[in-house]
Chain A
Amino acid sequence: MSLGISLFLVFFFLLSVGLPISISLGVAAVGSLFLNGFPLSVLPTVVYASLGKFTLLAIPFFILAGVIMEFAGISKRLVHLANVFVGHIEGGLAVVTVVVACFFAAISGSGPATVAAIGTILIPAMAKSGYDKGFAASLVAASGNIGIIIPPSIAFVVFGVLAEVSIGRLFIAGIIPGILLGSCLILTSLLLLRKQKGKLISSKPSTLAEKWLAFKEAFWGLMTPVIILGGIYGGIVTPTEAAGIAVIYGLFVGFFIYREISMKDLWRLLVIASVGSATVMFIIAFASVFAWVLTTSHYATDLSEKLLLISTNKTVILLFINIILLVAGCFIDAASAYFIFLPIMLPVMRTIGVDPIVFGVFMTVNLAIGMITPPVGLDIFMASNISGVSLKEISIKVMPFILASLIALGLVTYIPWFSLWLPNLMGVK
């Protein structure tokens, strides 16, 4: 057995005995530095270099923006707006959930943040209208995935930094796949709800005046994606700067327009966002050491060559890569998956002629599915936390949505059009 594979085995062993992902990656990597006779003095240098990347500042900024948007009452008003428009149709709240998730995804760059923002309002609302609470929590969890596919997206920032592709182009490439995933989720929930016809309470159709009022109230929230994406594609700011501007905008709306946050809240929100960002950054720090070992020791090249030996058929290789990522995604988070798999898979993609942008999109959709699969699924953890529905129940009820997401994954993997059409049309490099 090659040392490269044993590096992965040690990592998964440590993970299985309950060590955090970050520490497991670090210990496996340091062990292998030692065995390969590399000086351990590279450890702090690699750690510092991985944390000290300006582009990655988008991570704390987008997380903070998401937390602020939620506490400032922006998400609440968006939910209301969607409800006024589609709340009266049968199964309307399920549709509202997905639509708001798509929209909130355009504000926040993280899955769990999207789940928290829309779930705290929509899960109780669905339960009150006669929906099964487990169904509601599962749908919210699955919809949260759209958060990292529709721009802005923390996952795309990490992929872009590692694969050295344009984050701006990746962002635009994610829009149609995100909407595609949303459509799959809507169809699935309407299918699931068919049996309950007549039992669900729908709200009365709203009047034009109510619609206008809801729009006016939500206007400031609706402007957020315009500011973020307009700033980036108008060439005014970089994606990282845009993330920081989103924070300022959220604070402006929260302090002066909706007046729902105070100075004291701000302190708490800063701490919440920092912890969220630091857990990701701590993983990135040690995942970088792991990736450093993989590339410097030629493990990565060996493993890439092994992957290419499996088949000469592009379709089969893509299927195989997706399966590896899906299995890994059940146990690890997206950030570490990028670090440990990109050095191996990116050269494979080059050999079989897959555009790195398409790879970035389908890898992200794939790893997003990992966020709703047990045992380690950030989105189902969050959905369970905020709804009080047990993790076990959500894990079962989320299955149809996993299936729906897999269909979207297949389409995005094998039909590059979904990812490339919009960026090519817009001429985004």
Chain B
Amino acid sequence: MKVFDYLEESLIAFTLIIMVVINFGNVLSRYILYASWSFSEELMVILFVYNSFLGAALAYRRGAHLGFTMLTDALHGTAKKTVVVFSTVLSLALMGLLAFYGAEMVSGQMEYSQRTPALGLPESLAGMAVPLGSLLISFRIIQACIREFSGPHEALSQEKRRTNQ
């Protein structure tokens, strides 16, 4: 599990730093070599979509998703559990639909072997972020629900709170 979490965080950091480097490289190349990198936008956008899905999953782990919890915080016992189950089921349903139709989208992209315009990468490689990301997020949603049930969780550490920006 620890290894899995570490891998997730590493991928997140990696995608973002690569985006930064490509962006800088492209600007430099345009002004020094008078040549833009044709692939830069395309590659950055693909990394960005992966970064967003991975980050959204990690945000579940850190309780960083934004919402209105004043009412549910006031609940206890069965009422609280009902609300938690209700929101978990709805969240999973939404992510499930996104994963299912996302997989359909990817299989369509593979069937017609669509390629990205600049790099010629299979379009499905980019599209894959949707179903894979949705499954990962679903997994984190279930984890968050279990955490909620296993009693009062430890106060979020300062480090975790800081990420909530």
A residues near B, CB below 8 A? 14-24, 26-27, 30, 40-41, 43-45, 47-48, 51-54, 56-57, 60-61, 63-64, 66-67, 110, 112-113, 115-116, 236-237, 240-241, 244-245, 247-248, 266-267, 270-279, 281-283, 285-286, 331, 333, 375-376, 378, 381-382, 385
Contacts and interface: CB of A to CB of B under 8 A. Distances in A.
B135 interface: no
B90 interface: yes
A270 B13 contact: yes
B98 interface: yes
B27 A331 contact: no
- Interface secondary structure of A, over-half rule: helix
Contacts of B65: 20-22, 279, 282
Contacts of B27: 236-237, 241, 244-245
Interface string B77-114: 00000011011001101100110011011000000000
Given A237-B27, A382-B164, 20 more contacts: A17-B72, A18-B68, A18-B71, A18-B84, A23-B87, A27-B93, A40-B97, A44-B130, A45-B105, A48-B130, A52-B126, A57-B23, A116-B165, A241-B27, A248-B20, A281-B52, A282-B52, A282-B56, A282-B65, A385-B162
Given A52-B49, A274-B58, A331-B68, A14 B13 contact: no
Contacts of A272: 162-163, 165
B57 to A, nearest CB: 8
Contacts of B48: 51-52, 56-57, 60
Contacts, number: 206
B161 interface: yes
A18 B16 contact: no
Contacts of A48: 49, 105, 126-127, 129-130
B152 interface: no
Contacts of B98: 26, 43-44, 47
